[in-house]
Structure 1
């Protein structure tokens, strides 16, 4: 490189360095440019990246959307802030992002772990409209609303333009689980396209009870068509269902003992409802609902609704109307009628005395056993008759032999007819009592009143008492052993033993009675201790009833009555329906036998 070339390059470097120094932007200019870039990014992504962007958003809340390059331009970015509205029952936390209820706390309830009962919370709770404006979808969950809080209400507004806006108004009355909810689309009929808009609601239910598995078993989204009974989606698997058969009166996100219900003043036109069973700890299930609202582009639109946030207590839900009380499962027909019109009224009556719920269950069981005592007495007498006849039946069996089953059965039926005994007399009274036993299988697990109520060693009658914790899982049993379930099983075995003594059961029938209680030990081990407590009491009271009947009934006297019946002429015997059918059966058998002999 020669001297002239070097000198030229040196001068060029000096000129460039001077240009960078004298013409660089000031700090104010740099800050302004950074704010512009951040604001543009926030508008495109729907999020806020810098404080400057938030300041720019709040500085222009009422400018026309066209000036800010799109609908709701002034509401796309912002800083999330929360507000609280509460009464004696509920604590509602609102978020200006989406203008929604962010979380709901039931102030007078606690979870099994002693924490506040929060039905839903956080970003996984979405609630808002999906609108079509200018051929594009606008989701209100992405908008930042302006809140206006008063003593009993919260208004959230997102401005499309100075005279066009979306407004969500929430109203909370004192001493109430209901939250009024109005959607006002002021002037939006001029810009919203299509003849319907979508209201989307999705949330994740949080664990409140001792067993997540049991809580999932009783949780499902419910819905009610107009003039139809409420129904629900699957409780065991993921499911999505289109609800288009009729208009929909309400949608409920139900978990075991608590529910969030959305009730429109005018039924929803149609909906899509879904449930997802979650595997995340402390999360019960995920629910989502897509609800269709009719939209008239010729007039301003307002939609009135209300929320119910509260317990699944039957009488509380019934006060809401519209058959919302059917969120409480009472069983299948006819069990639900037994529970609703017999068991529940008696339970509520006893509850009025202010007793401990363990005592209420005891008195309820005694009352039902007294009502059913005539059936128990008939069952005992019938089984005693069969036991007394057993020696004669053994003689017939030895005479006829076991090879000819048809002839043996005919001889047995002839004996029953002679002494006036119905062999099914011991079974029928027990079958009539079976619906009561099964009704309680649905009643106690769904009874909110037992939640958190203790009795003896049982800390909560609405869930199992894990008296023994294994620390590992045993197939068919689980990770614990319920003491009340064990006592129920032992009492059933004792009852089976004495029942076999009364009926004279032998062979396989004798041992089947001992197998079933062991099976139910595994089935009921994770069921509420209140249910096992009832079955234990029922067994012990039934055993007591049979003991008293045995003291009052003389087997020798029954035997003499059977002998006298045997001596009576056929025409003097008063025939029961069973005996009439028995005569017809024997006549048919005799005719068939005669026909067979003729054919030979």
Structure 2
């Protein structure tokens, strides 16, 4: 490099150094710039967190409240971003409470939403306070357009309207201008599970804009496990919803989703015995629900995450009020039945068709009647079983008599089997049926009464797991009739059976084996299919596996019911003279059998067919 080049580079460096020194900011300017950059960074961090929260629909408490704005430039950026709601995206989250004899509801000023709900009359399986949800387990707010952005009320801070609030009412208000505000009003009446909820908009048509003729309401809740048996509780949990002027539908016991193509009246986030229900005084014009059930093996207190996106119709106007109600309470049929026009009682799974009718119009009235005078639910179940068995006794007696008739005919059936070779099975069967017909015995006579009793057995299968009255009620060794009664917690798990031994389930299985053995002895009069005897004994074993995790009240009922049936059979057998039955049957066989009109017509048709066949054969020979 020559002398001129070196001199040029030195002069350029000197000029740049002088320029930097002359334009160097002062200490005050450096501090101001630092404050500016910090404020920008805070705003950008809040925006990033809000974007993440909106995508996941989760809220982290006090995140927005941690923002402090002390710079006019930052305030202007918030105004540019959130418009008239710039002041509402920052603040301090405060909590308020409404409570009565039944529930305690806590509200947060952020989102003006229900923050937690405690049912004061109940506890969970650990005997702790029963809380339906708490904090971020419940997200509730509606979306609207403002300043070319989608905002959600769940992220805005409201203030309490002191003039409109008292011991039973809270009014959260968010003002954006002169006589322009949005308010959430809550009212809790005495001795009620209902919380009235109103959304009020005053002169807000120019401030917020709706989408598709309504606002999108987002409700997301984690359903907390409250019972001892997680598998059983999942099976009876889910989301229920009623279509406006139509039926109640559900997604229960599994993950799934449902799009609402028609208006919906209410939606319920339900576990086995308790529900959070949002009821529209008008209706929701559409929406969607999603249920995400966590596997039974997950070691988490959450059963499922339920999400609802509902459309609230919006007509606009200077003063616009949308009225709703929350039901936070038990899935008690007697309580929910009072809401006649809403069909809330349908969230109690009593069974479909005839099974539900038996429960609603027979079992529940009797159960409630007994409940009014007896404190022990074990005794109530015992008396309920006795009443049912007394009503069904005529069918039980008829079934036994049919079996006894077939049993006394056994020697005659054996004679038929000896006379007709085994390879002529059809001929044997025809001769046996002819004997039954002459004696006046129906092979189905013993089955039909049992079939008529089956609807009651299935109805009780639905009744006991759905009855909150049995929850945490003890009887003998069972500490909770709504859950399994464990007499031994095993150190290992048997597939399908579980990790414990339920004594009522074991007793139920033993009585079923005894009853099966009695039936086998009483029905030896007819030949059985190969392997049928073993199959009959397999059923009680299958019941022992299947019912081990079910409500002990159900196993107790089946145990008592089967035991009573065994006692009835023994008593009937002692007082029934089988020799007299045989004499009557033999007398019937000697009487001329009067043919029914149908049988006569059938025989006449058979004769005509035979004559036609003979005539056709003669023609063919010619």
TM more than 0.5: yes
Deviates more, 1:272-281 or 1:423-432: 272-281
Asked if structure 2 preserves the Cα contact closer than 8 Å seen for 1:464 and 1:482, the reply is: yes
- For residues 519-534 of structure 1, what are the structure 2 equivalents within 5 Å? 519-534=542-557
CA 1:590–1:357: 2 relative to 1, 3 Å: farther
1:552 equivalenced with 2:583 (yes/no): no
Closer, same or farther: CA 524–599 of 1 in aligned 2, 3 Å: farther
8 Å CA contact 2:195–2:326 kept in 1: the answer is yes
Aligned to 1:314: 333
Please name the residue that 2:386 is paired with. Answer: 366
SS in structure 2 of the partner of residue 72 of structure 1? helix
Partners of 1:32 and 1:50 lie apart in 2 by 19
Q: Indicate which of 102, 107, 111 corresponds to 2:120.
A: 107
- Range with bigger deviation, 499-508 or 549-558: 499-508
Greater CA drift, 459-468 or 69-78 = 69-78
| Correspondence 1:129-278 to 2 at 5 A | 129-148=142-161, 150-194=166-210, 195-236=213-254, 238-245=255-262, 247-278=263-294
Change (3 A) 1:314 1:271: same
Distance 2:458 2:495 in 1: 25
Q: Determine if contact 2:202/2:318 at 8 Å carries over to the other structure.
A: no
Seen in structure 2, the aligned counterparts of structure 1 residues 56 and 300 have a Cα distance that, compared at 3 Å, is farther
Q: CA deviation at 1:234?
A: 4.3
Kindly provide the CA deviation profile for residues 380-405 of structure 1, in whole angstroms up to 9, marking residues without a partner as x.
00000001111111111111122122
Q: Say yes or no: does 1:513 pair with 2:536.
A: yes
SS at match of 1:150: coil
Displacement, 1:82? 2.0
- 1:314-353, aligned counterparts within 5 Å? 314-321=333-340, 322-353=342-373
Which shows bigger deviation, 248-257 or 83-92? 83-92
Write the distance in 1 (CA, Å) between the matches of 2:422 and 2:205: 87
Q: Is the 8 A contact 1:68 1:74 kept in 2?
A: no
Instruction: Measure the CA separation in 2 of the matches of 1:199 and 1:443.
Output: 35
Could you tell me which of 508, 516, 519 is aligned with 1:488?
508
Task: Give me the whole-angstrom Cα distance separating, in 1, the residues matched to 2:70 and 2:280.
Answer: 38
Equivalent residue, structure 2, for 1:286 = 305
- How far apart are 1:78 and its partner, in Å? 2.3
**8 Å contact 1:410–1:586 — kept in the other structure?**
no
Q: Does 1:93 align with 2:109?
A: no
3-state SS, counterpart of residue 400 of structure 2: helix
Whether contact under 8 Å (1:43, 1:73) holds in the other structure is no
Out of 425, 433, 438, the position equivalent to 1:405 is 425
Paired residue secondary structure (2:208): coil
Which stretches in structure 1 are left out of the alignment for 5+ residues?
A: 1-8
Residue 203 of structure 1: CA displacement? Answer: 0.5
CA 1:464–1:69 in structure 2 vs 1: closer, same or farther (change >3 Å)? closer
Q: Identify the residue that residue 563 of structure 1 maps to in structure 2.
A: 586
2:464 aligned with 1:448: no
* Partners of 2:421 and 2:383 in 1: CA distance: 51
Q: CA deviation at 1:320?
A: 2.6
For 1:208, what is the secondary structure of its paired residue?
coil
Task: Please report the RMSD computed on the Cα atoms of aligned residues, expressed in angstroms.
Answer: 3.3
In the superposition, relative to structure 1, how do residues 210 and 584 fare at CA in structure 2: closer, same or farther (>3 Å)? farther
Counterpart Cα distance in 2 of 1:220 and 1:307: 17
Equivalent residue in structure 2 for 1:535, among 539, 555, 558: 558
Kept in 2: contact 1:222–1:230 (CA 8 A): yes
Structure 2 Cα separation of the partners of residues 526 and 587 of structure 1: 59
Q: Which moved more, 1:296-305 or 1:547-556?
A: 296-305
Q: Which structure 2 segments of 5+ residues have no match?
A: 1-12, 51-61, 618-622
How far does the alpha carbon of each residue in 1:385-427 deviate from its partner, in whole angstroms, 9 at most, with x for none? 0011111111111111221222212111211111111111010
Deviations 1:328-378 (A, max 9, x none): 011121100011101111111111113300000000000010101000010
TM-score where L is the length of structure 2 = 0.86
- Equivalent of 1:25 in 22, 25, 28: 28
* 1:44 matched residue in structure 2: 47
Partner of 1:84: 97
Q: Report Cα offsets for 1:420-478 as digits up to 9, x if no partner.
A: 11111010001001111111110101111000000000000001112121122112311
Mapped to 2, the partners of 1:244 and 1:532 lie a distance apart of 42
SS in 2 for 1:544: helix
Distance 1:49 1:388, change over 3 A: closer
Q: 2:477 corresponds to which residue? A: 457
CA shift in 2, pair 1:34/1:196, >3 Å:
same
Q: Secondary structure at the match of 2:493?
A: strand
Note if contact 1:270-1:292 (Cα within 8 Å) is conserved in structure 2: yes
CA distance in 2, matches of 1:325, 1:28: 66
Alpha-carbon offset, residue 17 of structure 1: 11
User: TM-score, normalised to structure 1's length?
Assistant: 0.89
Q: 1:118 aligns with which of 104, 122, 131?
A: 131
Name the CA shift for 1:53/1:312 in 2 (closer, same or farther; >3 Å): same
Partners of 1:420 and 1:176 in 2: CA distance: 62
- In the superposition, relative to structure 1, how do residues 183 and 118 fare at CA in structure 2: closer, same or farther (>3 Å)? same
Deviation at 1:68, TM superposition (A): 7.8
Aligned mates of 2:153, 2:65 — CA distance in 1: 22
1:302 Cα deviation from its structure 2 partner: 1.2
1:501 aligns with: 521
Which moves more between the two structures, 209-218 or 118-127? 118-127
